[in-house]
Structures are given as structure tokens and as C-alpha cells.
Amino acid sequence: MRATLRRGLCTASQLSHVDGALPKMVDVGAKGETRRSAIAEVAVRFPPDIYAGIFGVRLSPKPNPNPKPSPNLDSRPSLGRNPDPSPNPTPNPDPKEGQALEAAAGPKGPILATSTIAAVQAAKKTSDLIPFCHPLPLERCDVQYERLSPDPNPGVRIQVTAACSGKTGVEMEALTAASVAALTIYDMCKAVTHDMHIT
């Protein structure tokens, strides 16, 4: 996850949470309530074989430009999710991919269901974690997942949309929820691999 300051360098006097040398909570009492919303995204990437095993992607080999005859292997028993191993596997579209993604489970249980619960809990607890965030009455915290194609490794994109009616923005709630969702996926899968990358 990446945050970018687009207005260039700033001084301490321009930071609303700094009063001289001391931090402070911004007074939003004079502001009117408006509808606020924010979207945050984060990606978790896995080694291809681990991703296939956890998230149920069927893998097929890349086309061979010089195919060679091979014996009939139809009678071989299928082992696992990848009966046709290849040194260069690529995802093969499957109409059940969406269902498999949501149904993914690891040693600790359902991965994305747990991640969703963690994200919503984190959004509601943002003001307890970030010192000068105002407590907000969240009206929405929606968590969506999407497969990511290998770049170089496959993964899952998490998108969190947070919204409320209030006097201050809700972007910290969205960012916190997305961060905790990604960390939860890591925690749910670390018994299988530590080679995960969160961006």
C-alpha cells in the first residue's frame, strides 16, 4: 500500500495535527456534516504453486511450439488440483474461479471470510489505533476481492470502501481496514508459506 503527498514539500505549520512542537486533535466542531466516502486498495501476492493450492486456480501449461508425441496417460489418477504439472504454469480461466476464491481455506480456516471480518473490525477501531483520528459513525464498510494475474506472481486485490455522514474524512478507516485485511490473509496463510508480498 502506498500513500503519496501530491502537493510537494510542506512545513510543520501546514500540518493540521501539529501545534508548534506538540501534536493536537483538529477541531471539526464548526464543520457541517456531509456524506464522506473513501476507497483503499492493497494486494497480496503468492508463489504460483501456493496460490493455486490455496485459491483453487486450475493451472495449465503454456502452449509448446514443438510438441512431441507422448504415451496415453488418460488412465493416470489425478493428484491434487494440478494433474498436468508444467514448469511454466499459467492460470486457466475457470467459470468457478469466483466461487473458489471466496471458498479459499487455509490451516486456520476460511481465509477471505476471516479477512472481511477483520477489515470491518479494524475500520470501526481506527480511532483507537491512530491517535488523532476522530471516532466516526461508519455507515458502510464494504470489502471486495479480485484475482490478480501474475506480475510476476499471482495474488488477491483487496478493495475497501468506507462511508459515513460526518464532519471529517473517512480515508483512515478505509486504509486501516485494507491494511488489516491484508495482514489477516498473511496470518491465515503463513503456515503454508512466508513468501507473500503485500503492496
Which residues are annotated as catalytic? Answer: 187
SS3 at position 176: helix
Q: What is the pairing mode between strands 59-61 and 89-91? A: antiparallel
Q: 169, 181, 194: which is closest to 26 by C-alpha?
A: 169
Give the whole-angstrom CA distance, residue 137 versus residue 17. Answer: 21
Give the whole-angstrom CA distance, residue 153 versus residue 49. Answer: 10
Give the whole-angstrom CA distance, residue 175 versus residue 39. Answer: 8
Q: For residue 13, what is the DSSP state?
A: G
Q: What is the pairing mode between strands 140-148 and 22-23? A: unpaired
